[in-house]
Amino acid sequence: MQSDFSGKVYDDKIFKQSFRLSSINCNRFYESDLVWYLQIIQEIAANHSAKLNLGTNKLDEKGLEWVILRNIIEVNRYVKWGEFVHLETWAHEKYKLFFPRTIIGYDDNGNKLFESTSFWAMLNRNRNFRPVPPKPFLDLYGYPSDESKSKPPEYPNKILIEDDFKLINNGFTKSIYDDIDANYHTNNISYVKWLNSVMSDEFRNTHKVSKADISWMQQTYPDDKNNVRVYSQSGDFSQSLFKYDIEKESIEGKIDISCMASLKWNAKENLL
């Protein structure tokens, strides 16, 4: 596939950009992981918006900011050090107050590596962080002529931790300086790193995420104390599907759930 590293809008309103897995983004086995896939997903979304003067820096001048609320990603394969991921993305028509976006990653041979559907909102800091109606902005992106691509995806059901799921591990953490983004709250990628942190090393040595559904529900700030919890039906790490929540306690003592997730892990040899 043709590599385009700067990012370009092609025919039918599809934005494309390529990324190479560098050594600093590899895990201990010279492989990519879910965190890196989500990082390049966030990067191409930002670059697509920047091409239309809707990037974070431009919005910040107007008191506006992007937030991601939900991302569902299915992974077929993780690339290894030196491989390229060729991404294409497009905006869907609005779904309520959401900006839906699809991002698909391919390898050099055109094989699909992953597909992501995400839901974003634009918030107005000058109006108590109220969501901005998306249609005028989405019209700037334009829509693919293929109706199956342009129509908005349905927002998925709320992630639930069923009664038969048992708590198997938890850990407390606070955001460090490098977790905080330009909006002065924790970047969404840091939440995913926290989810990984409660999985055992032995499990992560042999497993990778094949499907993730992550819901960011509350913003997290530097002084918040976060309790990251993982649950399974079996009560241990012997299964593939795990549910997660992150409970944050603010410096004032207020407690909220900031993130919920459902991650399916498969034997990593099936994803490489």
Instruction: Compute, in degrees rounded to 10, the torsion defined by CA atoms 49, 55, 58, 60.
Output: 130
- Angle formed at CA 188 by CA 33 and CA 115, multiple of 5 degrees: 50
CATH class, domain 8-150, is alpha beta
Question: Residues 83-123: pLDDT tens digits?
Answer: 999 999 999 999 999 999 999 999 999 999 999 999 999 99
Instruction: Compute, in degrees rounded to 10, the torsion defined by CA atoms 203, 209, 211, 213.
Output: 80
Q: List every span in the chain annotated with CATH 3.10.129.10.
A: 8-150, 166-270
pLDDT at 233: 97
Residue 126 has pLDDT above 70, yes or no: yes
pTM of the complete model = 0.95
Give the tokens for residue 46. 């930002």
pLDDT at 1: 52
The pLDDT of 121-139, averaged and rounded, is 93
**Spatial distance between the Cα atoms of 229 and 171, rounded to a whole number of angstroms:** 7
Q: In CATH, which superfamily holds the domain spanning 166-270? A: Hotdog Thioesterase (3.10.129.10)
DSSP letter string, 179-232: GB-TTSSB-HHHHHHHHHHTS-HHHHHHEEEEEEEEEE-S---TT-EEEEEEEE
Question: Residues 187-216: pLDDT tens digits?
Answer: 999 999 999 999 999 999 999 999 999 999
**Spatial distance between the Cα atoms of 54 and 163, rounded to a whole number of angstroms:** 43
pLDDT at 170: 98
Q: Which residue has the higher pLDDT, 4 or 63?
A: 63
